[in-house]
Amino acid sequence: MSFRQPLPRTADESAAPRSAAAGGAAPASAPQDRSRIELVGVTKRFVSPTGAAMTALRDVDFVVEPGQFCAVVGPTGCGKSTTLTMVAGLDRPTAGVVRVGGAVVDGIPDSTSFMFQHDALLPWKSVLQNVALGPRFRGESKASALGRAREWLHVVGLSGFEDHHPHQLSGGMRKRATLAASLISEPSILLMDEPFGALDVQTKAIMSNELLTLWERTRPSVIFITHDLEEAVALADRVVVMTAGPGTVKAVYDIDLPRPRGAVQEIRFDSRFLELHQRIWESLREEVERAYARTGRTAGTATTGTEGGRP
Amino acid sequence: MNEASTMGDARTLAAIRAQSVQPASTDEASIAEAARRRVRRRKVLVQSTRLAVLVVVVGGWQLFTDRKIVDPFFFGQPSGIVLKLVDWVEHGTAYGSLWLQIGVTMKEALLGFAYGTGAGIVLGVLLGQIPFLADVIGPFIKVLNAIPRIVLGSIFVVWLGFGTTSKVLLAAVLVFFVVFFNAFQGVREVDRNLVANVRVLGASRAQTVRHVVLPSAVVWIIASLHVAFGFAIIGAIVGEFLGAQQGLGLVISTAQNNFDPNGIFAAMLLIAVVALSAEGLISQLEKRLLSWRPGTQTEVAGL
Ligand SMILES: Nc1ncnc2c1ncn2[C@@H]1O[C@H](COP(=O)(O)OP(=O)(O)O)[C@@H](O)[C@H]1O
Ligand SMILES: [Mg+2]
């Protein structure tokens, strides 16, 4: 379940002072402030080539404290991915600002990593070369980048697959490689867009545990998008619920489950977990129903299906 | 060829499945053995039928012209073609040794291919990356593409004379358009996710082109090279036709003026051999460059 090896060097040093404050959203010392993410009145409008405007996001406000793990849930098409691309500096808000570490984002920030919804490994490069890409782009020497990439592949349990091409790996292994590629730059901000959405339930649980283990060592600020509320509550310090499109923040919940959380599969039966899940689900359900209604299906059948799965 | 054998595999498997109702073939090893035997048998069948087709066509040609049912003066004769080739090898053509003619034509075709491919890739990538440039230059390229480019050969001969340069230029122009459109399209089809990903990883514009745009356009570019090399040879031959001092095109045009169909066919045969070897080399290159792809897609090579 957990990682086979301790993290490579630098990561371990920075993990040490923080392990004491490992309960909940640990408030941070000064240098960590650069990993504070703040969205203020963010609105995003897309204009189609025919000139029709479509509002994807409206007045989104929320804050991710330094080192906090923030999950964002909301119905499909409510603008979750759009939010993330603006935090990553890949796109700009139509109105409002995104600030990272107090500075307005107007380009791709240096210490941000992004795990995309779809596999983004370069299919023509080996797994090792893929993981080494970030350091290479940032000017690290080839030998050193490949060396560190090897260490990180070891950390995520992919030793022996260095020379494989992405299509030769299973979906779960590709996610591990992507995770290694995201973490090798030791980002202070980690953005994840439904990273485990395409995985089967068991693999997803394993990956979630591994993600938590890694995150607790270096504690980057995380925005983790998911449509799976259980996953959100199990992993996050803070859950942001978004409304059906145009998306805006409906409610923010702080998750006070203690850390380290342990196995994601087990925490789901914790009574506090169930209580929080129930509360957030009430809020999310309306939005999911509205989104379903819009797609033309009967809201009733669609949601009973989802709810029926709850213990 | 690959295609044929995989199709054979599929058919054999279906056949085996149909047979497996019989208790005799339930043993796994014997099933595999039977499948292998069927594949082998089919391969032999295909090869021998091919040979038969060749014998019938060439033999029929020889027979009909021998019996004067078809006039060998107009249609040539396989034996005459072979004699012509032997004569060329032994005594050379009117313009020097046969190898010199092949060499000249190959040199023109290869140089034209190299220049045309280079220009096509560079311009295709530039226009694919810079929409403004594409908007400005796009219409001009479309107009140029609409011109029957073979005619340009005449102009090139007027400008550059009977030497090899005019042929190289014609071949390059023919190659350019094929490669350019594919490179341009390839760049346009690049997966946006991959581009966004490397940008977040810190890639500069040049690094993005080098690590993402080019490799993904290579699939398209390579596909165009098969066609492009054919065009390079056409460019060289037609250029020689229009006026030259050496080369297979000149040999053909001389044979035409002498009413020597055997000479024309013999030169055609040589060109076909050259083109097929080049095709083989390009397929090798394709295999090397696209080794990362799941499964080898050799649709073109399979034909
Ligand atoms: N580049 C774009 N151009 C036009 N519309 C877009 C673009 N990106 C997203 N959208 C629209 O914005 C809405 C939100 O999309 P997205 O952020 O992907 O939702 P989510 O990730 O929550 O499912 C959708 O209706 C989508 O069609
Ligand atoms: Mg999305």
Instruction: Give the integer Cα–Cα distance in Å for B98 and B84.
Output: 11
Same domain, A107 and A35: yes
Q: List, for residues B77-98, the tens digit of each pLDDT value.
A: 999 999 999 999 998 888 889 9
Same domain, A44 and A140: no
Whether residue A311 lies inside any domain: the answer is no
Same domain, A173 and A44: no
Instruction: Give the integer Cα–Cα distance in Å for B303 and B1.
Output: 7
Whether residue A93 lies inside any domain: the answer is yes
Distance A113 CA to ligand 1 centre (A): 21
CA distances to A49, A285, B185, B215 from B218, rounded to whole Å, are: 29, 47, 11, 5
Ligand 1, pocket-test mutation among A45, A78, A82, A227, most atoms within 8 A of CB: A82
Same domain, A43 and A86: yes
Which of A185, A201, A224 is the C-terminal boundary of a domain?
A185
Instruction: Give the integer Cα–Cα distance in Å for B72 and B65.
Output: 5
Q: Does B200 touch chain A (CB under 8 A)?
A: yes
Distance A78 CA to ligand 1 centre (A): 7
* Domains held by chain A: number: 2
Same domain, A131 and A100: no
- Residue B19: predicted pLDDT: 52
Same domain, A166 and A288: no
CB B101 within 8 A of CB B263: no
Instruction: Give the integer Cα–Cα distance in Å for B111 and B100.
Output: 16
Which of A158, A185, A212 is the C-terminal boundary of a domain?
A185
Structural tokens at position A293 = 């209604």
- Per the structure, the complete domain to which residue A71 belongs is given by 30-111+189-298
Whether residue A247 lies inside any domain: the answer is yes
Whether residue A13 lies inside any domain: the answer is no
Q: Is the pLDDT of residue A106 over 70?
A: yes
Q: Does B195 touch chain A (CB under 8 A)?
A: no
Question: Which atom, in ligand 1's list, is nearest to the CA of A82?
Answer: 17
Residue contact B211–A125, C-beta within 8 A: yes
Ligand 1: which residue has its CA nearest to atom 20? A77
Same domain, A83 and A130: no
Instruction: Give the integer Cα–Cα distance in Å for A223 and A187.
Output: 13
3-state SS class at A297: coil
User: If you ran DSSP here, which 8-state letter would residue B210 be given?
Assistant: I
Structural tokens at position A107 = 């380009």
The CATH number assigned to the domain holding A274 equals 3.40.50.300
Task: Report pTM.
Answer: 0.77
Same domain, A125 and A172: yes
Q: Is the pLDDT of residue A17 over 50?
A: no
Same domain, A95 and A223: yes
Asked if the interface predicted TM-score (ipTM) of this complex is over 0.85, the answer is no
- Residue A15: predicted pLDDT: 38
User: By C-alpha distance, which of B232, B220, B187, B228 is closest to B297?
Assistant: B220
Whether residue A22 lies inside any domain: the answer is no
Q: Is the pLDDT of residue A155 over 70?
A: yes
Which of A185, A216, A234 is the C-terminal boundary of a domain?
A185
Residues of chain B with pLDDT under 70: 1-26, 295-303
Same domain, A211 and A269: yes
The response to whether residue A195 sits with its C-beta less than 6 Å from ligand 1 reads: no
Same domain, A181 and A195: no
All residues of chain B having their beta carbon less than 8 Å from the beta carbon of residue A174 are none
The residue assigned the tokens 């009733």 is: A300
The residue assigned the tokens 């997803």 is: A204
User: If you ran DSSP here, which 8-state letter would residue A6 be given?
Assistant: P
Residue contact B212–A108, C-beta within 8 A: no
Q: List, for residues B190-232, the tens digit of each pLDDT value.
A: 999 999 999 999 999 999 999 999 999 999 999 899 999 999 9
- Among B199, B200, B211, select the one facing A113 at the smallest CB separation: B200
All residues of chain A having their beta carbon less than 8 Å from the beta carbon of residue B208 are none
- Residue A279: predicted pLDDT: 94
The response to whether residue A77 sits with its C-beta less than 6 Å from ligand 1 reads: yes
Whether residue A136 lies inside any domain: the answer is yes
Residue B303 burial class via C-beta count within 10 angstroms: exposed 0-12, middle 13-18, buried 19 and up: exposed
Q: Does B216 touch chain A (CB under 8 A)?
A: yes
Same domain, A149 and A293: no
- Residue B215: predicted pLDDT: 92
Whether residue A82 lies inside any domain: the answer is yes
Whether residue A7 lies inside any domain: the answer is no
Q: List, for residues A252-306, the tens digit of each pLDDT value.
A: 999 999 888 878 888 888 999 999 999 999 999 999 888 888 876 544 444 443 4
The response to whether residue A170 sits with its C-beta less than 6 Å from ligand 1 reads: no
